[in-house]
Amino acid sequence: MGRSGPYGRPMSEDYAGPAITTTLDEWLKARDETRRHLDQEQPPHREEWVQRLADLLTTERSWQDQYTELIAIGRTGGRFPSSNR
């Protein structure tokens, strides 16, 4: 894995900026970790389990937001289009 750039984003060795592929890989890893965690326990949930899930979901969302921001680079206003859903 490359160096970390602003906001903890991975940076490629060849380019002094965030790496889209690395960011996507980290987002997918976070999703898999969240999925594994969800498969571990059935209700009623322990407080520690719920806290870990909250932490995993926050991490997953952070990587998703970073990936979306990287995709938006070069678009008008630097923003990703809003969803039609």
Domain residue spans of the chain? 22-75
Residue 3 has pLDDT above 90, yes or no: no
pLDDT per residue as tens digits for the range 20-63: 899 999 999 999 999 999 999 888 889 999 999 999 999 999 99
Whether 31 and 38 have beta carbons less than 8 Å apart is answered as: no
CA distances from 70 to 25, 51, 67 (A): 13, 29, 5
Give the distance between the most distant pair of CA atoms in the chain. Answer: 49
Taking the model in full, what pTM does it have?
0.65
